[in-house]
């Protein structure tokens, strides 16, 4: 609802239509799907809300919270450590491949320049960034320096006025 109230959903779809890659992690993965169902009112008083429709997945919010460290492998065989911390279960349709594998089971989804995953920490591995996003990040002195570079890139790519409008600033 927040994204829609600011037009960020439309902006994201337009960017994708123009050729941009879209990657959602955790709640971002859930929002990229077709529907988010919350039958028990875990996250809101809305029982069902339409997602962005960029991935053929549906998320059902559950009372149980998943919190675990995992070892994952990408499609190209890059192994990395990550963690999951989320509410809900995301069901994928078999029309698209997984983004990664965790203990031999498919995790996330990749389809038509859109990908989603529950794996926090994956983007700390330069090999994963290169495979998923198509560029190799420069080594940064710290996480904060990486975040600053990412924020600078986003502002340069989208433009400060566009970001201010979309984020309501």
Q: What residues are annotated to the active site?
A: 26, 120
Alpha-carbon gap, residue 8 to 36, rounded angstroms:
18
74 — phi, psi (to 5°)?
-80, 175
Instruction: Specify burial of residue 94 (Cβ count, 10 A radius: 0-12, 13-18, 19+).
Output: exposed
* Tokens, residue 102: 């965790």
**Cβ 131 vs Cβ 37: under 8 Å:** no
Alpha-carbon gap, residue 94 to 77, rounded angstroms:
21
**Cβ 83 vs Cβ 68: under 8 Å:** yes
Run of H or E residues at 149: helix 143-158
* Tokens, residue 121: 């920490």
* Tokens, residue 127: 């090999």
């Amino acid at each position: 609802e927040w994204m829609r109230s600011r037009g960020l959903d439309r902006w994201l779809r337009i960017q994708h239509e123009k050729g941009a890659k879209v990657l959602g992690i955790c709640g971002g993965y859930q929002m990229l799907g077709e529907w988010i169902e919350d039958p028990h009112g875990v996250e809101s008083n809305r029982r069902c809300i339409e997602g962005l429709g960029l991935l053929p997945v549906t998320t059902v919010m559950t009372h149980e919270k998943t919190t675990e460290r995992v070892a994952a492998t990408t499609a190209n065989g890059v192994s990395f450590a990550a963690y999951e911390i989320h509410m809900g279960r995301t069901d994928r349709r078999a029309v698209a491949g997984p983004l990664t594998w965790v203990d031999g089971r498919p995790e996330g989804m990749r389809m038509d320049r859109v990908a989603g995953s529950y794996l926090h920490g994956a983007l700390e591995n330069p090999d994963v960034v290169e495979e998923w996003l198509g560029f190799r990040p420069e080594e940064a002195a710290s996480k904060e320096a990486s975040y600053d570079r990412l924020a600078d890139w986003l502002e340069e790519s989208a433009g400060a006025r566009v970001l201010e409008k979309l984020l309501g600033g």
